[in-house]
Amino acid sequence: MIAHIFEDLCNGCGSCVNACPTHVLDPSPAGGPPVIARLDQCQTCFMCELYCASDAIYVGPDQRGPEIVDPETVRASGALGQMRRDHIWNAPPGDQEPLAEYWRLGPLLMEGAQISARRYALKHPPIEPAAEPASPDKAPATASSR
Ligand code: SF4
Ligand code: SF4
């Protein structure tokens, strides 16, 4: 799940807000870093990380729940921007084929979509049809038929 947005790296461009398929992020009204507004909808798809040209987002690998991370440990680990580097997102045309390894994201995205669908179903259970009103033509039930 998305775990941290580094304020000092973020330029408020809003790319992550637009890239997130499940509307986890809201733009900051003040033009600063986006707000993680709906963490429970995060499917750990890493799109926000991929689209952040400033490498200001860290998504943790755990899809099951929020992760508490120490931002400075994450920064020192070299994990920031890893998704972009691993998928050659910034390669100039003709240098390396952008997204050469993008297929590796397939299973991860599939699992994220499945988790998201299950969460949606839990939050929006099907509505039961209303009971039919009793017909006035029907004879009232007798004591023996109850
Ligand atoms: S990991 Fe995916 S679902 Fe979660 S905030 Fe980023 S883009 Fe949205
Ligand atoms: S994409 Fe990166 S720089 Fe742009 S608003 Fe999101 S976190 Fe900030």
Instruction: Measure the CA–CA gap between 77 and 71, rounded to whole angstroms.
Output: 10
Classify residue 134: in a domain, yes or no: no
**pLDDT tens, position by position, 102-129:** 555 666 666 666 666 776 677 677 777 7
37 belongs to a structural domain: yes
> From the alpha carbon of 11, which atom of ligand 2 is closest?
3
94 domain residue, yes or no: yes
Counting the structural domains of the chain, the total is: 1
pTM of the model: 0.70
Q: Which domain holds residue 102?
A: 2-122
Residue 42 scores a pLDDT above 60: yes
Q: Is residue 91 part of a domain?
A: yes
Identify whether the C-beta of residue 34 lies closer than 8 Å to the C-beta of residue 54: no
Give exposure, 88-108, as e/b (b: 16+ Cβ within 10 Å). Answer: ebeeeeeeeeeeeeeeebeee
Query: Do the domain assignments include residue 146?
Result: no
* Residue 145 belongs to some domain of the structure: no
Atom of ligand 2 nearest to the CA of 15: 1
Higher pLDDT, 140 or 61: 61
pLDDT averaged over the chain?
Answer: 79
Q: Which CATH number is 86's domain given?
A: 3.30.70
- Residue 48 CA to ligand 2 centre (angstroms): 8
